[in-house]
Amino acid sequence: MKILLAVDGSTCSEVAVNEVARRPWPEGSQLKIISVAEPPPITAIPDTWGPPSDYYDLLEQAGRNRASVAIEKAVARLRSGVEPRLQPTTEIITGLPKEVILQEADRWEADLVVLGSHGYRNLKRLWLGSVSHAVALHANCSVEIVRDRAASAL
C-alpha cells in the first residue's frame, strides 16, 4: 500500500500524523510525507513603495522552512509509533496545496492520501477554501480526512 501523508505543521496535521503512526500497516507499505510551501503572492507595487529586493525570496524561504519543520516533526512522531519499520520518504513541494497534493498522489500512484482538516465552516471556508474537501472530491485514490475534535468544536 502506498500512503501519501500531507502535513503543514498545524494541530490538525499532527492529528493526521498520529493516526498514521498508530496503525499497523500491511507488510511492504510505503509512506511518503509531503509538505507544500506556497509561493508568496506577487503584487504590482511601484518601486518607491515596494518591499526590499529579496523580500519574496525571504518569504519563499520562510515557507520552505515551515514545511521542513512540519516534515521533521512528522518523521519523529512516526518513528515512535506502532509501525517504526515504515520508513518514510519526504519531499517539500512548492505550489498550491490543493493542486500539489492531487498531482503528487497521481504521480506517485498513491493508494491512500491522509491529511488533516481544519474544520472551516461557512464564510471562513469560502474565503480560505478547503484543501481536504478539494482532495476528497478530486483524488483518484482513497482519501482519509482526519479531524481534530477540539478544533472542530470551535
Whether the CA torsion 133, 136, 137, 138 is positive or negative: it is: positive
**Calpha distance 140→65 (Å, rounded):** 30
| Predicted confidence (pLDDT) per residue in 97-152, tens digit | 999 999 999 999 999 999 998 755 544 444 445 888 899 999 999 999 998 776 55
Q: Which range among 22-31, 59-68, 77-86 shows the weakest confidence by mean pLDDT?
A: 77-86
pTM of the model as a whole: 0.85
Q: How far apart are the first and last CA of the chain?
A: 35
Domains in the chain and their CATH numbers? 2-152 (3.40.50.620)
